[in-house]
Amino acid sequence: MSEFKIDELRRRMDKGLQVLKDEFSGLRTGRAAISMLEPVQVEVYGTRMPINQVGTINAPEPRLLTVQVWDAAAVKSVEKGIRDSGLGLNPQTEGNTVRVPVPQLTQERRTELSKVAGKYAEQARVSVRNVRRDGMDLLKKLEKEKQVSEDEHKRHADSVQKLTDELIKKIDEMLADKEKDIMTV
């Protein structure tokens, strides 16, 4: 396994970290922000797609988001997607516009958002571990095919594990920061 492969594993693991950052950006604690709805997936035209691909998201007021849905047939799906997203939002439909009032954060709501953040972090950890597993499987295959020696296999396996540990630690730190941010009144 060449150094390039380790870099490839790092790139794939970093992608999982970037997804986590994007999901965390949707968990706002104060004002309504467009990024709150970015992780929301909507079932339209027989497939799941991001909400920003079926309408325009705006934040006209500090505690209100609107989604101007482009296709009237997709309005109910957008409303359902927002309601089922786990963000605790209750959308209301007015024609092709879905209004999403952002509730004042209660302690119960903050705890709920912390749990959502925890789920996002666990998904990122699983993603990183899956990349590690792929790397380890590739190493075993290369050793079996006599492309790497047993010593090289051990050295590369150690570096893959070190990379995994480093990224899991980073995910845990990001989660702790986000939970602190959410729980701060």
Helix (H) or strand (E) holding 81: helix 75-83
User: Which of 82, 101, 120 is the last residue before a domain boundary?
Assistant: 101
CATH number of the domain encompassing residue 144: 1.10.132.20
Please tell me the predicted confidence (pLDDT) of residue 76. 92
pLDDT score of 2 more than 60: no
Residues 85 and 147 in one domain: no
Measured in degrees and rounded to the nearest 5, phi and psi for residue 140 equal: -60, -45
Report whether 138 contacts 1 (CB < 8 A): yes
Report whether 37 contacts 24 (CB < 8 A): no
pLDDT digits (tens, 9 = 90+) for 55-98: 999 988 888 899 999 988 899 999 999 988 877 788 999 999 99
Residues 15 and 50 in one domain: no
Q: 135 is written with which tokens?
A: 């790397």
Please tell me the predicted confidence (pLDDT) of residue 3. 44
Residues 157 and 113 in one domain: yes
Is the pTM here over 0.85, yes or no? no
Longest Cα pair distance anywhere in the chain, in angstroms? 66
Report whether 56 contacts 68 (CB < 8 A): yes
Give the number of other CB atoms < 10 A from CB of residue 48: 11
Report whether 157 contacts 139 (CB < 8 A): yes
User: Which of 59, 82, 101 is the last residue before a domain boundary?
Assistant: 101
Please tell me the predicted confidence (pLDDT) of residue 122. 96
Residues 46 and 80 in one domain: yes
Q: 65 is written with which tokens?
A: 């988001």
Domain hosting 150: range is 3-24+106-183
pLDDT digits (tens, 9 = 90+) for 171-180: 999 999 989 8
Nearest to 129 by CA among 23, 39, 5, 17: 17
Report whether 1 contacts 148 (CB < 8 A): yes
- Separation of alpha carbons 183 and 185, rounded Å: 6
- Separation of alpha carbons 100 and 138, rounded Å: 47
Report how many domains make up the chain: 2
Specify the amino acid at residue 51: I
